[in-house]
Structure 1
Amino acid sequence: MLSRTDILTVEDGEPVAVDNPDGAGRFLFICEHASRLMPRNAGNLGLGPEALASHIAWDPGALAVASQLSSEFDSVLISQRFSRLIYDCNRPPESPSAMPEASEIYEIPGNKNLAPAERYARTAALYIPFHDRIAQEVAARKARRQDTIVVTVHSFTPVYLGKQRDVEVGILHDEDSRFADALLDVGKGGQYRLERNDPYGPDDGVTHSLRLHALPNGLMNVMIEVRNDLLADEAGQGQVSAYLTSLFCDGLSRLGAAS
């Protein structure tokens, strides 16, 4: 049977990155699709450079935005260091999307007909450490009675399967919509076109991290999806980050006024 050491070598380093670990802010930022880096032993999964650079491998610009938000709010950021193609940490092990055989227009040969041992090894090496680290952070914050809002940061492609997406910033939520409602309320008619649970929603399985860490602990939460053409360069990333910073501050004020 394969082991987790067959997936990640010493040279690969840790599967999880933690920025601003001592941040005292209210938010806990998570970026599951931060990187397109592949573990050395994984090779290229049979994909060419175009596919490995595209949105199927990662969420372009998401980590840059999450990092700026982490800094602005003095908050912890936990991110996955390897590509979603080897394991998508926003999906549970039983999901076909955790190690997808295809994504949009691309077949992924290296993920086809994976043996149970291979699936187990990837889960042990990548998924478990990532979510264990988030769970540890949540537990520590609860122990010191620190108010927490869980925010996962993503980006999405402007054209999917040939269809143009008009939404610019998606405000996604599962059963707990408190923070999402506040953001949508204060964001009406603003700089970007905001939509609720668009281009994805809970029925698409994208709220896994929220369901795993926020909902059972009663923590307010939201998933942010930014159209990635808005994040194509540092200027765009900075503009979106500044917008989200203002949006979050206004949302917190609205929640405070309603409580």
Structure 2
Amino acid sequence: MTGLLTEADGSPVAVENPDALGPVLLVCEHASRRLPEKMGSLGLSGEALASHIAWDPGALAVSKLLTESLDAALIHQRFSRLIYDCNRPPEADAAMPAVSEVFQISGNAAISPAERLARTKALYFPFRDALSNFIAARKASGRPPILVTVHTFTPVYHGQQRDVEIGILHDSDSRLADRMLASAEKSPRYAVRRNEPYGPVDGVTHTLIEHGLKNGLPNVMIEIRNDLVRDEVGQKVMADYLTGLLGESLAAL
């Protein structure tokens, strides 16, 4: 497969508020459920393509509210993680999953090496480069950013109810996560936990490692249970809470 994206598809990555005065760089790898024109439906129903397997519902909406409240920059992917999950390296099977939860993704079942490379070049490399270039420019100007990635997760996974409401995830650098968790303990509005419902062992810290750890930047991944951000009211309430949590934690750094 060559030329995966058409002119109508547009850019695979969006950069918003690049001249932000605040220190935070927000990243939303699973912002969209959109598929490139040439990819069809991957053999999935409309219901499946609207579900969590295709994107993180509410994540981009909360990220955009945080962009305003924190005067932060935001970089997000414009296509579904079913085509390429930008929080995974090219060699990972999960970068182009053939199975997600209970769904068989026939359009990903037998991807050739050439097709994998085409997807990587079309989606992952531009996303990776946008992040790398932004961080390099900020560092060169004496303003190294603080990396915050935003995700959502399902309340029920493989039939099991999840009682955690906000996950604060980190890899080997826990500086920002430690402060956020300490701040959350002062006001127990939500069930906030460390490295839940996922953690480094699940391979979810690729962006943190590649762009945070390797650049020596404080970094954290925020996971929000998606039933809390299904509508504009929930999104605003969550963004207000996270603004306070981040603000206090950044001051403590």
TM bin, normalised by shorter chain, reads over 0.9
- What corresponds to 1:173 in structure 2? 170
Structure 2 unaligned segments of length 5 or more: list them.
none
- What corresponds to 1:94 in structure 2? 91
Between stretches 183-192 and 44-53, larger displacement belongs to 183-192
Q: How far 1:150 moved relative to its partner? A: 0.1
Tell me whether 1:51 sits opposite 2:48 in the alignment: yes
Runs of 4+ in 1 over 4 A off after TM superposition: none
The partner residue of 1:28 within 9, 15, 25 is 25
Q: How far 1:147 moved relative to its partner? A: 3.5
The partner residue of 2:193 within 182, 191, 195 is 195
- What corresponds to 1:211 in structure 2? 209
Query: How many correspondences in the alignment?
Result: 252
Structure 1: distance between partners of 2:250 and 2:220? 13
- What corresponds to 1:233 in structure 2? 231
> Considering only aligned residues, what root-mean-square deviation do their CA atoms show, in Å?
0.7
Per-residue deviation, residues 84-110 of structure 1 (Å, max 9, x unmatched): 000000000100000000000100000
Superposition TM-score, scaled by structure 1 size: 0.96
Q: Kindly report which structure 2 residues correspond to 1:1-259, keeping only aligned pairs within 5 A, or say none.
A: 2-3=1-2, 5=3, 7-188=4-185, 189-255=187-253
Q: How far 1:74 moved relative to its partner? A: 1.1
SS in structure 2 of the partner of residue 242 of structure 1: helix
Q: How far 1:252 moved relative to its partner? A: 1.8
Per-residue deviation, residues 171-230 of structure 1 (Å, max 9, x unmatched): 000000000000000101421110000000011000000110010110000000000000
Structure 1 unaligned segments of length 5 or more: list them.
none
> Could you tell me the percent identity over the aligned residues?
59
Structure 1: distance between partners of 2:158 and 2:24? 34
Structure 1: distance between partners of 2:234 and 2:27? 20
SS in structure 2 of the partner of residue 151 of structure 1: strand
Q: How far 1:52 moved relative to its partner? A: 0.2
Q: Is the 8 A contact 2:90 2:120 kept in 1?
A: yes
Q: How far 1:249 moved relative to its partner? A: 1.1
SS in structure 1 of the partner of residue 8 of structure 2: helix
Structure 1: distance between partners of 2:136 and 2:77? 19
Superposition TM-score, scaled by structure 2 size: 0.98
Q: Is the 8 A contact 2:31 2:79 kept in 1?
A: yes
